[in-house]
Structure 1
Amino acid sequence: MTALVTAASRAATALEAARDHLLALQSPEGWWKGELQTNVTMDAEDLLLREFLGVRTGAETAEAARWIRSQQQAGGGWANFHDGPADLSTTVEAYVALRLAGDPPSAPHLRAAADLVRDLGGVESARVFTRIWLALFGLWRWEDLPVIPPEIVFLPPWCPLNVYDWACWARQTIVPLTIVTAHRPVRPLPFGLAELRTGRRPRRATRTGLDTVVDTVVDTAFAALDHALHRYERRPLAGLRRAALRRAAEWVVARQEDDGSWGGIQPPWVYSLIALHLSGYDAAHPVMRRGLAGLDRFTIREDGTRRLEACQSPVWDTALAVIALLDAGLPREHPALDRAGEWLLREEIRGPGDWAVRRPGLAPGGWAFEFDNDGYPDVDDTAEVILALGRWGRPAARDAVRRGLRWTAGMASRDGGFAAFDADNTRALCLRLPFCDFGAVIDPPSADVTAHVVEALAAEGEARSPAVRRAVTWLLRAQEPGGSWFGRWGANHVYGTGAVLPALAAAGVPPAAPCVRRAVAWLEAHQHPGGGWGEDMRSYRDPAWIGRGEPTASQTAWALIGLLAAGERGPAVERGVAWLAGTQRPDGTWDEPHYTGTGFPGDFFINYHLYRLVFPVSALGRYLRAGEGTREGTREGAP
Structure 2
Amino acid sequence: MKSFDNSGTMARAADGQEVREDLDIGVGREPAAGCPEPVRLSEETGSPRSRQAATIRSSWIPQIEAAIRKSSDYFFRVQYPEGYWWAELESNVTITSEYVMLTRLLGIPIAEKRSAIVKYLLRHQNENGSWGLYYGDGGELSTTIEAYFALKLLGEDPGPGPLAKARAFILQHGGIEASRVFTKMWLAQFDQYDWGKVPSMPVELVLLPPELYFNVYEFSSWARGTAVPLSIVLCIRPKFILPDSLCVRELFVPVYGKKLDSRINKLFFVFDRIAKILEKRPIRKLRRRAIAAARDWIIDHQEDSGDWGGIQPPMVYSLLALHYLGFPLSNEVMAKGLKAIEDFCIEDENGLRMQSCISPVWDAALAALALLESGVSPERSALEKTARWLISQQILTGGDWQFKNSTPPGGWAFEFSNSRYPDVDDSAVVLNVLNRFSPQRSDGLESAKSRGMEWLISMQSSNGGWAAFDRNNGMDILNRIPFGDTEAMVDPPTADVTGRVLEVMGNCGYDCSHPAAKRGVRFLKNLQEKDGCWWGRWGVNYIYGTWSALRGLISIGEDPKSPCIRAAMHWLKDHQNADGGWGETCDSYRLPELRGQGPSTASQTAWAIMGLLAGNEEKSPEVSKGVQYLLRNQKPDGTWDEIYFTGTGFPKHFYIRYHNYRNCFPLMALGQYVKNLGQ
Output the amino acid matched with 2:590. Answer: R
Q: 2:410 aligns with which of 343, 347, 365?
A: 365
Aligned to 1:71: 124
Aligned to 1:526: 575
Aligned to 2:551: 502
Residue 7 (structure 1) shift: 2.9
Q: Is the 8 A contact 1:597 1:606 kept in 2?
A: yes
* Matches for 1:201-600 after TM superposition, within 5 Å: 201-204=256-259, 216-303=262-349, 305-359=351-405, 361-395=406-440, 396=443, 397-463=445-511, 464-568=513-617, 569-600=619-650
Aligned to 2:144: 91
Greater mean deviation of Cα atoms: 410-419 or 437-446: 437-446
Output the amino acid matched with 2:77. Answer: A
Residue 16 (structure 1) shift: 1.2
* Matches for 1:104-253 after TM superposition, within 5 Å: 104-190=157-243, 191-204=246-259, 216-253=262-299
C-alpha distance in 1 between matches for 2:664 and 2:588: 24
Say if 2:656 is the partner of 1:603.
Answer: no
Residue 162 (structure 1) shift: 0.9
Number of equivalenced pairs: 619
C-alpha distance in 1 between matches for 2:214 and 2:250: 38
C-alpha distance in 1 between matches for 2:119 and 2:160: 15
Residue 60 (structure 1) shift: 2.1
Any idea what SS the aligned residue of 1:435 has? helix
Residue 503 (structure 1) shift: 1.1
Q: Percent identical across equivalent pairs?
A: 42
Residue 429 (structure 1) shift: 2.0
Q: Is the 8 A contact 2:87 2:659 kept in 1?
A: yes
Q: Is the 8 A contact 1:536 1:548 kept in 2?
A: yes
Output the amino acid matched with 1:224. Answer: V
Residue 439 (structure 1) shift: 4.4
Residue 3 (structure 1) shift: 5.4
Aligned to 2:34: none
Output the amino acid matched with 1:384. Answer: V
Gaps of 5+ in 1: 207-214, 630-639
Aligned to 1:633: none
Say if 2:676 is the partner of 1:626.
Answer: yes
Output the amino acid matched with 1:201. Answer: Y
Residue 304 (structure 1) shift: 6.9
Output the amino acid matched with 1:374. Answer: S
- Structure 1 moving runs of 4+ over 4 Å: 1-4
C-alpha distance in 2 between matches for 1:435 and 1:56: 31
Q: Is the 8 A contact 1:300 1:307 kept in 2?
A: yes
C-alpha distance in 1 between matches for 2:314 and 2:240: 21
Aligned to 1:632: none
C-alpha distance in 2 between matches for 1:439 and 1:479: 22
Residue 393 (structure 1) shift: 2.9
C-alpha distance in 2 between matches for 1:281 and 1:90: 30
Residue 457 (structure 1) shift: 1.4
Q: Is the 8 A contact 1:454 1:507 kept in 2?
A: yes
Aligned to 1:212: none
Q: Is the 8 A contact 1:412 1:467 kept in 2?
A: yes
C-alpha distance in 1 between matches for 2:56 and 2:525: 37
Residue 66 (structure 1) shift: 1.5
C-alpha distance in 1 between matches for 2:391 and 2:543: 31
- Return the TM-score normalized by structure 1: 0.95
Any idea what SS the aligned residue of 1:599 has? strand
Residue 202 (structure 1) shift: 4.7
C-alpha distance in 1 between matches for 2:391 and 2:556: 26
C-alpha distance in 1 between matches for 2:430 and 2:522: 24
C-alpha distance in 1 between matches for 2:510 and 2:304: 35
- Return the TM-score normalized by structure 2: 0.90
Q: Is the 8 A contact 2:480 2:487 kept in 1?
A: no
Cα deviations by residue, 1:382-413 (Å, 9 ceiling, x for unpaired): 11111000012334311100000000111110
Say if 2:667 is the partner of 1:614.
Answer: no
Q: Is the 8 A contact 2:83 2:382 kept in 1?
A: yes
Q: Is the 8 A contact 1:139 1:193 kept in 2?
A: yes
Q: Is the 8 A contact 1:35 1:609 kept in 2?
A: yes
C-alpha distance in 1 between matches for 2:455 and 2:449: 10
Greater mean deviation of Cα atoms: 103-112 or 178-187: 103-112
Output the amino acid matched with 2:425. Answer: D
C-alpha distance in 2 between matches for 1:31 and 1:3: 35
C-alpha distance in 2 between matches for 1:425 and 1:46: 30
Cα deviations by residue, 1:298-348 (Å, 9 ceiling, x for unpaired): 111112721111101111111111111111100110011111000001001
Cα deviations by residue, 1:533-578 (Å, 9 ceiling, x for unpaired): 0010010111232101111100000000110010102100000000
Output the amino acid matched with 1:594. Answer: Y
C-alpha distance in 2 between matches for 1:202 and 1:587: 54
Any idea what SS the aligned residue of 2:656 has? strand
Q: Is the 8 A contact 1:161 1:429 kept in 2?
A: no
C-alpha distance in 2 between matches for 1:56 and 1:448: 43
Greater mean deviation of Cα atoms: 64-73 or 265-274: 64-73
Output the amino acid matched with 2:536. Answer: G
